[in-house]
């Protein structure tokens, strides 16, 4: 079943008859540390927790839950004494890792409007009023920056002698549409996620997303503790290009120097001065920062100019906000324009000013009003703001809805997107691909091709939704001018296949998140597991290597598909066939295959040698594959959380959430292995979540957990070396040239236009390129640590024989220089072979001599 967050709100949160007015229990606050519930709440007592709790808490009730810093199954066993009289289970003693930033929040909100701040996994038992096994699983991951907000009014009917209001049974009783308590697949973010800080729960003046898409409102939170992080002017996370100013004195005092704590060079006047300084001294000067996305701005920190020679600072200023950088609204204090106090008496101390009314905008301006009388308008600044969550279409999309969404994205971004199909499923559903590129429909010389494939197992649905979110996100951010996305789109050709097994998906979708079970919808319509359905090229290659004494001659790449597999009656699903021909048509460089049911990234080979059930089976590119897997795993907010619990029974945390496919369990005929053996494309498998089919209410969290990973993984396509292999005479690209890297037993080949991409870790490499009819060419290529490829072009010279053959084939006459060259070549060959023969003779004569001597001695 699916529904919009709005419906959920209605179902779960509207008052209902079960409410007793006297027992409203509100927890909308920041709990710092843990809290004390004192004494008894009388039945009619209005119990509100609107305070900031600090220090040690005691809970005098009988229902104490210990949330330890570290999660062990035992620790979670939530041993409250759940008696009928104490059904409320929310008093916690937060363990060691709880810090002041930990916003504890109780849980009624987990209903379809999860936002980044809502990343906790507590299966709050009080929503059930009953201690069920699921509820007991309460595996919260309270990390340092773990914030969860609680914005609800618990409208429980308390038991008369209850210590507090009794939580929310009405939800269970009257609202079958409530989502299940959050699952362990989405625990809180790790401590270090400054780049995606949680948005504030309430954005009263939000011009952006509709309310239904946003976090549930939490007015007290915004008003009393905006607590938004800095944008990163000081840390340099905000790029120079995001600054603008009304005017500036000179380049070294340009707007990009308006960063808190920036230091000037020893002398004033160079390119590196200690502030932004306006050129004019009037009240119309401004410094502007583009936050790149809708942001709730909460404050500004100001500092004067860093200089040995001059004293300049801004004493008071106004702030203006804009959503389009054209119309501006001044920050108000009630009905008046707010005037903030900046630096006082000296330029080095930073001063914080919080806005009386935080507001949402994309651009912010600092507009100086007064400044040090003997100086000019100069400042260094930091801006506080919470980026708003991505307003994407967070729900499960069946086939029709998926198609609709893709169409909408295509209409929103027609210049950078194109929808195409690669074939049909068994029941005739089309396999849609969204292409995203600055020139959709075309391969551009040198531009690498990337793909995400999701939904190969139809019931593992997170990947499908993430890929749909991703296309929406890229489209929107591209339009917004987000430099990272613009760079990605203009330098990469991206292909997104959200549903490789639409038949399976539809089956699972009909039953829904909870009732589909573990395996329904995994297989194709013909009951084939597509991840075992690709041709097994591993054993073909290994057998060839074993039987061939001349190792050089055995192909280490582009292993052809065996004949049995290509036959009409071969048991190959139409979906697998479609993907194979897609892989053959496009020169993909990098890919990931998105699955679910675990939290780990696996890399080839998936198939073990000699049919071992489980054995580490590395490829020649093991180190790069490990890098790729690590890139995804280390940026995924769930995997990177050291306190996360294991999904089912295996602890991948001890391997940093990456594992060789074969070391986990052997999978002959996997897509990853096929991709690597048959094409140039490197592919890993990402197991995205413990739960294969989480409830729609968890999709926003899944997006936040995976957003950075999905982006940064795509960016890896720009590593290693790339270039074009060309013919020296014609300058034309040479297709199918073999690019061989010394000591790596896996070659790749150039694409139709002669361009090639060889993914490599940093280092120095000896690279040789071969093409039929050409002399090989060798050069050294250095790969740096930056995420950009080293350009290594090759120019190949045709062999005289090749030229001769081509000329003769055309019926032409050989030019004299070629005839001479051929003769010289023949002579050289003759000389070399004569020399070799002579040497061999000499050796055997010597050997005979030695033997004779030995015999005579």
Smallest gap from residue 559 Cβ to Zn ion (A): 24
How many angstroms separate the first and last alpha carbons of the chain?
Answer: 96
Contact call for residues 379 and 255 (beta carbons, < 8 A) = no
The DSSP annotation for 48-80 comes to EE-SPB-S---B-SS--EEE-SS--TTGGG---
Closest CA to 446 of 587, 621, 592, 591: 587
Which 87-146 positions form the footprint of Zn ion (CB under 5 A)?
none
Smallest gap from residue 594 Cβ to Zn ion (A): 9
Dihedral angle over CA of 480, 482, 485, 491, nearest 10: 100
Quote the CA–CA distance of 180 and 111 in Å, as a whole number: 9
- Which of 457, 476, 626, 719 contacts Zn ion by CB under 5 A? 457
Per CB under 5 A, 803 contacts Zn ion? no
Q: Please, which residues have CB within 8 angstroms of residue 601's CB and are 6 or more apart in sequence? A: 628, 629, 630, 632, 633, 639, 657, 658, 659, 684, 685, 686, 687
The site string for Zn ion over 459-488 (x = CB under 5 A, - otherwise) reads -x----------------------------
Ordered alpha helix ranges (H), 413-441: none
Quote the CA–CA distance of 252 and 269 in Å, as a whole number: 7
Q: Which is nearer to Zn ion, 362 or 457 (CB)?
A: 457
Instruction: Compute and round to an integer the Cα radius of gyration of the chain.
Output: 33
Smallest gap from residue 466 Cβ to Zn ion (A): 14
Nearest residue to Zn ion, scored by beta-carbon proximity: 595
Candidates 35-43, 337-345, 564-572, 594-602; binding stretch for Zn ion (CB under 5 A): 594-602
Candidates 404-412, 414-422, 589-597, 637-645; binding stretch for Zn ion (CB under 5 A): 589-597
3-state secondary structure of 840: helix
Q: Which is nearer to Zn ion, 517 or 784 (CB)?
A: 517
Of residues 150, 687, 702, 708, which has the active-site annotation?
Answer: 687
The site string for Zn ion over 411-450 (x = CB under 5 A, - otherwise) reads ----------------------------------------
Closest CA to 804 of 792, 789, 816, 788: 816
How many residues touch Zn ion (CB under 5 A)?
A: 3
Q: Which is nearer to Zn ion, 105 or 459 (CB)?
A: 459
The DSSP annotation for 558-592 comes to -PPPPHHHHSTTS---HHHHHHHHHHHHS-EEEEE
| 316 burial level (CB within 10 Å; 0-12, 13-18, 19+) | middle
Smallest gap from residue 1 Cβ to Zn ion (A): 23
DSSP one-letter code for 774: B
Q: Which is nearer to Zn ion, 157 or 533 (CB)?
A: 533
Active site residue 687: yes
Quote the CA–CA distance of 534 and 40 in Å, as a whole number: 66
Smallest gap from residue 111 Cβ to Zn ion (A): 28
Contact call for residues 463 and 401 (beta carbons, < 8 A) = no
Q: Which is nearer to Zn ion, 184 or 458 (CB)?
A: 458
Number of H helices, E strands in the chain: 17, 31
Smallest gap from residue 592 Cβ to Zn ion (A): 13
- Which of 76, 362, 557, 595 contacts Zn ion by CB under 5 A? 595
DSSP one-letter code for 254: S
Smallest gap from residue 388 Cβ to Zn ion (A): 33
Per CB under 5 A, 25 contacts Zn ion? no
The site string for Zn ion over 756-795 (x = CB under 5 A, - otherwise) reads ----------------------------------------
Smallest gap from residue 692 Cβ to Zn ion (A): 8
Candidates 293-301, 316-324, 590-598, 727-735; binding stretch for Zn ion (CB under 5 A): 590-598
Candidates 7-15, 242-250, 455-463, 756-764; binding stretch for Zn ion (CB under 5 A): 455-463
Smallest gap from residue 360 Cβ to Zn ion (A): 39
Which helix (H) or strand (E) element contains residue 26? strand 24-27
Q: Which is nearer to Zn ion, 373 or 518 (CB)?
A: 518
Quote the CA–CA distance of 243 and 365 in Å, as a whole number: 10
Candidates 39-47, 107-115, 458-466, 779-787; binding stretch for Zn ion (CB under 5 A): 458-466
Q: Which is nearer to Zn ion, 285 or 689 (CB)?
A: 689
Q: How far is CA 169 from the centre of its chain?
A: 37
CA distances from 120 to 114, 695, 784 (A): 10, 15, 39
Q: Which is nearer to Zn ion, 453 or 741 (CB)?
A: 453
Q: Which is nearer to Zn ion, 32 or 595 (CB)?
A: 595
The site string for Zn ion over 547-586 (x = CB under 5 A, - otherwise) reads ----------------------------------------
Closest CA to 605 of 674, 651, 546: 674
Q: Give the residue numbers annotated as catalytic, written as ranges.
A: 687
Binding site for Zn ion (CB under 5 A): 457, 460, 595
């Amino acid at each position: 079943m699916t529904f919009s967050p709005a419906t959920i709100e209605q179902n779960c949160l509207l008052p209902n008859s079960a409410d007793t007015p006297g027992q409203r229990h509100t927890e909308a606050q920041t709990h710092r540390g843990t809290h004390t519930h004192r004494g008894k709440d009388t039945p009619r007592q209005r119990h509100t927790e609107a305070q900031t709790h600090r220090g040690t808490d005691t809970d005098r009730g009988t229902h104490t839950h210990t949330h330890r810093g570290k999660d062990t199954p035992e620790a979670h066993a939530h041993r409250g004494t759940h008696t009928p009289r104490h059904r409320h289970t929310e008093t916690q003693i937060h363990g060691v890792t709880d810090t002041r930033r930990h916003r504890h929040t109780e849980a009624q909100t987990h209903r379809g409007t999860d936002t980044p701040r809502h990343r906790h996994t507590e299966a709050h038992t009080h929503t059930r009023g009953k201690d069920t096994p699921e509820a007991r699983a309460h595996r919260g991951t309270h990390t340092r920056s773990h914030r969860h907000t609680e914005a609800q009014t618990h409208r429980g009917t308390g038991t008369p002698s209850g210590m507090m209001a009794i939580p929310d049974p009405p939800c269970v009783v009257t609202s079958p549409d409530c989502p299940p308590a959050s699952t362990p697949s989405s625990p809180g973010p790790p401590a270090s996620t400054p780049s995606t800080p949680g948005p504030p729960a309430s954005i009263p003046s939000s011009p952006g997303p509709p309310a239904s898409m946003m976090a549930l409102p939490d007015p007290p939170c915004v008003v009393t503790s905006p607590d938004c992080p800095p944008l990163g002017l000081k840390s340099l996370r905000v790029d120079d290009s995001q600054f603008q100013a009304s005017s500036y004195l000179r380049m070294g005092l340009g707007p990009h120097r308006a960063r808190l704590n920036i230091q000037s060079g020893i002398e004033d006047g160079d390119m590196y001065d200690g502030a932004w300084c306006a050129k004019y001294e009037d009240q119309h000067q401004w410094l502007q920062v583009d936050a790149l996305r809708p942001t709730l701005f909460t404050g500004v920190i100001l500092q004067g100019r860093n200089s040995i020679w001059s004293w300049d600072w801004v004493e008071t200023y106004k702030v203006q906000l804009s959503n389009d950088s054209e119309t501006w609204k001044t920050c108000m204090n009630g009905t008046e324009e707010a005037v903030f106090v900046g630096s006082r008496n000296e330029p080095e101390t930073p001063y914080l000013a919080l806005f009386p009314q935080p507001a949402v905008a994309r651009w912010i301006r600092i507009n100086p009003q007064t400044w040090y009388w003997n100086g000019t308008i100069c400042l260094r600044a930091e801006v506080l703001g919470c980026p708003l969550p991505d307003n994407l279409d967070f729900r499960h999309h069946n086939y029709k809805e998926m198609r609709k969404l893709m169409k909408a994205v295509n209409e929103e971004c027609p210049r950078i997107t194109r929808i195409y199909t690669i074939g049909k499923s068994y029941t005739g559903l089309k396999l849609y691909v969204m292409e995203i590129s600055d020139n959709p429909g075309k391969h551009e010389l040198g531009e690498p091709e990337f793909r995400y494939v999701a939904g190969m197992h139809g019931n593992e649905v997170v990947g499908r939704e993430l890929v749909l979110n991703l296309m929406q996100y890229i489209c929107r951010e591209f339009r917004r001018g987000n430099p990272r996305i613009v760079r990605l789109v203009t330098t990469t050709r991206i292909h997104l296949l959200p549903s490789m097994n639409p038949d399976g998906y539809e089956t699972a979708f009909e039953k829904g998140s909870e009732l589909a079970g573990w395996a329904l919808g995994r297989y194709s319509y013909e009951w084939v597991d597509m991840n075992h359905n690709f041709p097994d090229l591993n054993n073909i290659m290994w057998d060839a290597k074993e039987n061939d004494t001349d190792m050089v001659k055995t192909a280490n790449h582009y292993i052809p598909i065996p004949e049995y597999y290509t036959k009409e009656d071969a048991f190959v699903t139409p979906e697998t066939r479609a993907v194979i021909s897609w892989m053959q048509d496009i020169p993909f460089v990098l890919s990931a295959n998105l699955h679910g049911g675990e939290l780990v990234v696996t890399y080839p080979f998936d198939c073990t040698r000699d049919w071992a059930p489980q054995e580490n089976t590395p490829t020649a590119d093991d180190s790069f594959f490990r890098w790729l897997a690590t890139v995804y795993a280390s940026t995924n907010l769930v995997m990177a959380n050291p306190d996360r619990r294991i999904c089912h029974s295996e602890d991948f945390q001890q391997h940093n959430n990456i594992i060789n496919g074969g070391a986990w369990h052997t999978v002959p005929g996997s897509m990853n292995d096929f991709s690597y053996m048959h094409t140039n494309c490197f592919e890993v498998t990402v197991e995205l979540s413990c739960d294969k089919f989480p409830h729609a209410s968890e999709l926003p969290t899944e997006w936040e957990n995976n957003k950075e990973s999905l982006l940064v993984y795509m960016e890896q396509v720009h590593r290693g070396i790339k270039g074009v292999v060309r013919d020296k005479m014609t300058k034309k690209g040479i297709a199918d040239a073999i690019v061989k890297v010394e000591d790596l037993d896996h070659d790749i080949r150039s694409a139709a236009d002669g361009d090639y991409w060889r993914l490599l870790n940093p280092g120095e490499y000896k690279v040789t390129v071969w093409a039929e009819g050409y002399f090989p060419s060798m050069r050294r290529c250095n790969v740096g640590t930056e995420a950009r490829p080293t350009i290594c072009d090759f120019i190949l010279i045709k062999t005289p024989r090749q030229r001769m053959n081509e000329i003769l084939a055309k019926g032409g006459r050989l030019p004299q220089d070629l005839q001479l060259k051929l003769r010289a070549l023949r002579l050289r060959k003759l000389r070399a072979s004569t020399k070799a023969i002579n040497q061999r003779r000499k050796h055997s004569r010597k050997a005979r001599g030695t033997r004779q001597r030995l015999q005579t001695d």
